[in-house]
Chain A
């Protein structure tokens, strides 16, 4: 058992545990913490898979950005950190069965697929397998984006640009959707102006 395998075990355990935590906790705050753990562990898995670029992005965008966004969402929606929203017993039971079925199906597929693709042996010129090569992948990824480095010569510049435009549209759309609106069923004791101002303050930070 190599160090890599050991690390894999640690990260996998953290990821699965975090995921289970997200699913199991009732408190939104705890769920958010579990999610952070889970996503960080997945980033570690990416590093193990010779994908430092992806791992770094995972850490920065997900753990640093998206989760913070979610936590802000929790706070803004005032869902109540300690407030519980219970679901029915019948629903819980049926969901458990579905979850077990899904896990079984996916696990079976994963095992079957992993056996079918054991991992291609990478050979050098003499036909000797190169083990645990850790090439520098940042530059290849950049070149791949531009379509310069690889053999195919086809880059990912166009999808990248599309994603950029998509992001822009999404952010504008999000800002539009989340903009302060007069609450229809505004409670008479809270003046609508105050509500709107609080909301827009929060949104300003969010944007």
Chain B
């Protein structure tokens, strides 16, 4: 379990760093993907190793860990990530059409 959690932590940190340091909007999106993957690694790991959904005494092979709920959550995360990527790319494209660049630092019209 610890190993998976550490991998997840590394992914998340890298994702955050990526989001904070890339000026390219596509790079920022890649950071978001990394963060989401960190989350799904955690989910699947918890499904395998987490506390059992049913008492251990009556547990069968296919009802271990948090059950399959973690895996399903991971599936949802993947699908949502795909949707998010589509929308974000659409925004980036619209922005690019407007400004001729994909630099996020140029997107500061909402500056206070």
| A and B touch in their complex, CB below 8 angstroms | yes
Task: From A32, A42, A140, give the contact of B62 (CB < 8 A).
Answer: A140
Main secondary structure of the interface of A (DSSP, over half): helix
Q: How far is the CA of A29 from the CA of B81 in the complex (A)?
A: 20
| Contact call A22/B30, Cβ cutoff below 8 A | yes
Q: How far is the CA of A111 from the CA of B84 in the complex (A)?
A: 31
Judge if B75 is at the interface, Cβ distance under 8 Å. yes
Q: How many residues of A contact B (CB 8 A)?
A: 94
* Chain B proximity mask over A26-42: 1 for CB below 8 Å, otherwise 0: 00100110010011001
With A66-B33, A133-B61, A141-B72 in contact, is A61–B51 under 8 Å at CB?
no
| Contact call A110/B8, Cβ cutoff below 8 A | yes
| Contact call A16/B21, Cβ cutoff below 8 A | no
With A61-B78, A66-B85, A115-B2 in contact, is A23–B11 under 8 Å at CB?
no
- CB-CB under 8 A from B13, the residues of chain A are 99, 102-103, 106
Judge if B112 is at the interface, Cβ distance under 8 Å. no
Interface size class of B (residues with CB under 8 A): 35 or more
B11 to chain A, nearest CB (A): 5
Task: From A133, A141, A178, give the contact of B90 (CB < 8 A).
Answer: A178
| Contact call B45/A49, Cβ cutoff below 8 A | yes
| Contact call A69/B79, Cβ cutoff below 8 A | no
Q: How far is the CA of A175 from the CA of B65 in the complex (A)?
A: 40
> Which residues in chain B, 1-58, are within 8 Å of chain A measured between CB atoms?
1-18, 20-27, 29-31, 33-34, 37, 40-41, 44-45, 47-54, 56-57
| Contact call A103/B10, Cβ cutoff below 8 A | yes
